[in-house]
């Protein structure tokens, strides 16, 4: 009975919250390489890939894997690395080769569409992304319809870069964002929009009208859902990407998050750092964790004469 009580006590003490860690989306390549691991949440900062030297090593590994197995997944992943390296035309030629070897692969259509967009050929990009959607309508969290609308807006002109055309919804012109959508639908739209933006921000740097508009929309959705702190971060990113005007000025002042005046640095591969503010909630979790460890140590020390014999 005593052993059970002590076990229960330790379980409670050591079940306190621990420090936040990387636990967002991941992408693992065919050769086992973890290409990226994102932070959890709905503020899109893009993927942080492995370093340039590592990308070269991964490329060699994928080429070797394909030669040994003839598995097209290795070749497809090689195309993805080429896109990350900015070698878009090489990636396009590689995916065309894959298409002849095995037509109608989703990864081929999706990635070649992305590569065409990145070199500015939006017409070809739209053709391939629409094909990708037909192959797998549920891909990318059902979000590729947004990608299709983005490409259509690029082709049609800047007057189509608005919430109604891109998302089929408008969030009002007043100080507070508004919508007739149900909360569950807003949650779904946020997931889809976040995914598209996180992918896009990886390759598209400020300033960009479409990214700015969609970040503003993401902020509006997060605010209406109740995630006001994330909404403010989305608005800040929207301004960074070039969104301006009285509406965003008003909405970015709707909520003032309490931010601890220090920087949380999370070590990323090769000694690089991803920097972000440490909020009060995160700081409190850290304090609770430290306090729990201290209390646990004190209890073990005080009752050590009773505890250690029971563990033998």
What are the tens digits of pLDDT across the range 200-220? Answer: 999 999 999 999 999 999 999
Q: In a 10 Å sphere around its CB, with 0-12 CB exposed, 13-18 middle and 19+ buried, how is residue 135 labelled?
A: middle
Question: What share of the chain in percent tops pLDDT 70?
Answer: 75
Q: Higher pLDDT residue, 16 or 236?
A: 236
Place of tokens 């490409």: 151
Interhelix angle 72-84/106-118, rounded to 10 degrees, is 20
**What's the pLDDT tens digit per position in 109-121?**
999 999 999 999 9
pLDDT at 239 > cutoff 70: yes
Q: Quick one: pLDDT band at residue 271, thresholds 50, 70, 90?
A: very low
Which residues, at least 6 apart from 75, have a Cβ–Cβ distance to it below 8 Å? Answer: 62, 66, 94, 97, 98
Angle at 195 between CA 245 and CA 225, to 5 degrees: 60
- N-terminal to C-terminal alpha carbon distance within the chain: 15
Look at residue 281 in the predicted model and tell me its pLDDT: 37
pLDDT at 235 > cutoff 70: yes
Q: Quick one: pLDDT band at residue 262, thresholds 50, 70, 90?
A: very low
**What is the pLDDT averaged over residues 268-295?**
47
**What is the pLDDT averaged over residues 269-281?**
37
> Strand (E) positions, 148-290?
259-268, 272-279
Look at residue 207 in the predicted model and tell me its pLDDT: 93
pLDDT at 100 > cutoff 90: yes
C-alpha distances in Å from residue 269, one per residue of 12, 52, 202, 273, 310? 34, 11, 17, 8, 43
Average pLDDT, the chain: 82
Encoded tokens for 184: 């569950």
Q: Quick one: pLDDT band at residue 140, thresholds 50, 70, 90?
A: confident
Within 13 Å, how many C-alpha atoms sit on residue 148's CB side?
17
The backbone torsions φ and ψ at residue 195, rounded to the nearest 5 degrees and listed phi first, read: -60, -50
**What is the pLDDT averaged over residues 49-63?**
91
pLDDT at 260 > cutoff 90: no
Count of other CB atoms within 10 angstroms of residue 297:
11
**What is the pLDDT averaged over residues 41-53?**
88
The least confident of 77-91, 210-224, 255-269, 272-286 is 272-286
Q: Quick one: pLDDT band at residue 288, thresholds 50, 70, 90?
A: low
Look at residue 289 in the predicted model and tell me its pLDDT: 63
How many angstroms separate the most distant Cα atoms in the chain? 78
**What is the pLDDT averaged over residues 225-250?**
96
Cβ–Cβ < 8 Å for 113, 132: yes
Q: Which domains does the chain have, with CATH numbers?
A: 49-135 (1.25.40.10), 137-255 (no CATH), 258-312 (no CATH)
Beta bridge partners of 37: 26
Look at residue 52 in the predicted model and tell me its pLDDT: 87
DSSP state of 31: T
Q: Quick one: pLDDT band at residue 180, thresholds 50, 70, 90?
A: very high
Question: What share of the chain in percent tops pLDDT 90?
Answer: 65
> Strand (E) positions, the chain?
26-28, 34-37, 259-268, 272-279
């Amino acid at each position: 009975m005593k052993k059970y009580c002590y076990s229960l006590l330790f379980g409670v003490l050591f079940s306190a919250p621990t420090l936040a860690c990387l636990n967002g989306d991941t992408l693992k390549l065919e050769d086992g390489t973890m290409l990226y691991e994102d932070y959890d949440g709905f503020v899109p900062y893009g993927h942080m890939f492995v370093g340039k030297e590592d990308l070269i090593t991964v490329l060699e590994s994928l080429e070797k894997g394909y030669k040994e197995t003839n598995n097209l997944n290795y070749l497809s992943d090689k195309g993805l690395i080429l896109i990350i390296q900015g070698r878009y035309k090489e990636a396009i030629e590689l995916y065309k080769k894959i298409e002849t070897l095995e037509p109608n692969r989703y990864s081929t259509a999706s990635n070649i569409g992305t590569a065409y967009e990145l070199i500015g050929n939006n017409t070809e990009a739209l053709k391939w992304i629409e094909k990708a959607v037909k192959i797998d309508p549920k891909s990318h969290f059902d979000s590729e319809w947004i990608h299709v609308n983005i490409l259509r807006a690029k082709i049609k002109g800047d007057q189509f870069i608005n919430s109604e055309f891109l998302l089929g919804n408008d969030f009002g012109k007043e100080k507070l964002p508004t919508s007739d959508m149900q909360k569950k639908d807003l949650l779904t739209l946020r997931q889809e929009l976040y995914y598209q933006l996180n992918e896009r921000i990886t390759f598209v740097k400020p300033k960009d009208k479409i990214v700015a508009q969609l970040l503003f929309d993401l902020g509006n959705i997060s605010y209406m859902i109740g995630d006001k702190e994330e909404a403010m971060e989305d608005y800040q990113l929207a301004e960074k990407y070039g969104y301006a005007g009285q509406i965003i000025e008003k909405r970015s002042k709707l909520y003032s998050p309490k931010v601890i005046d220090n920087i949380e640095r999370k070590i990323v591969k090769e000694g690089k750092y991803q920097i972000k503010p440490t909020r009060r909630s995160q700081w409190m979790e850290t304090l609770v964790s430290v306090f729990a460890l201290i209390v646990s140590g004190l209890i073990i020390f005080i009752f050590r004469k009773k505890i250690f014999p029971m563990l033998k």
